[in-house]
Amino acid sequence: MTDRAFLAEQLRTWAVEEGFTRAGVASLVPSAHGEVFRRWLARGDHADMQWMERRIELREDPRRLVPGAQSALVVALQYFPLEGGDEPSGDLWPKVARYARGRDYHDIMSKQLKRLARRIEAAYPGTVTRPYVDTGPVLERELAARAGIGSFGKNTNLLERRWGSYFLLGELFLSLDLEPDAPLDDPCGRCTRCLDACPTGALPEPYRLDARRCIAYWTIEHRGDLPTEVRPWLGEWVFGCDICQEVCPHNHKVLPGTEPRLRLPPERAELDLEALLGLEVEEFRRRFIKSPMKRTKLEGLKRNAAVVMGNRGDTAYVPALGRALDDASPVVRKHAAWALGRIGGAAAIDRLIAAHRVEIDDAVRSEIDDALEGLGG
């Protein structure tokens, strides 16, 4: 074994000892997918995530990010399934992407990578290190694929035959010259289950994601009102979406992860749609301070909960949606009105009429008008 290979194996071992599920090494070279990324942006597939358009030259050549860096130690952390199971019980708990159910992975993985960096710096003085966990202009899936962590699936997620695709990625850029790992082969073959299962057409062709039609984008990244035509797309998803992963054959029998902090904690397991819609600011901060779900902010989470209630069409939600018509946020009031219009019935009409009498926001009044018109009220 060469010195480069020995060192790479040592660092992979240290990464696992630090708590990561797996690790691999990639050399830092210009991206082979830069042109593909630019075409993706040019089509507008990134929706309004304009931050993706910035610092493209750094994404295309990661060597510019950290002067002197030669290698990236890429780490993976399995978030589902977890040993012992981690599925919430009952039908009332809202659908949340599995990666977001536990503690924020940025916090977990960043601290682990920093400890790993300190260990490397102590063993090899003078080594330059810099960690990334979805925090910089890094095409991390390409780096992870080059490091043998997985291969690009047709749903644009990384897949690995034993681990599926339910894993999170981080990178530690290093000035060390390490022996890179070999990329893996194509895991998909002729399978198109993910493309066929996507309910909104967000996967219009293999290896392409159109965020403008992606449930995860609309429930997490988009701020303010959801376009009327988009609201039914959410189905029952309050935060993110796992559909294209759920149908993937590689995810049906995979090795479990062991990180307990990725489990759904009790303070969020007890929240149903009505509880989410009724959250106040302080309670939201207390329950979600260490959760990835804080990204959508309170207004976005309540907006999504109202839409899911409307999509479920259950008259039991009418009282909660009626109370939401008094919410401080016009966005929440608008989506509550829309949901009441979807559910219908005399009680829903009464709530909408009462709200219309006192509503001072023209946009909300218009939403109530549309709901009443649809119900013949």
Q: At CA 138, angle to CA 77 and CA 165, rounded to 5?
A: 35
Active-site residue identified among 134, 225, 272, 350:
134
- Rg of the chain's alpha carbons, rounded to an integer? 23
Query: Which secondary structure element, helix H or strand E, spans residue 238, and what is its range?
Result: strand 237-239
Q: At CA 327, angle to CA 323 and CA 330, rounded to 5?
A: 130
Active site residue 134: yes
What DSSP string runs through 300-355? HHHHHHHHHHHHHT-GGGHHHHHHHTT-S-HHHHHHHHHHHHHH-SHHHHHHHHHH
The answer to whether the CB of 259 falls within 8 A of the CB of 104 is: no
The answer to whether the CB of 337 falls within 8 A of the CB of 356 is: no
Question: How is residue 239 written in tokens?
Answer: 């935060």
Positions marked active-site: 134
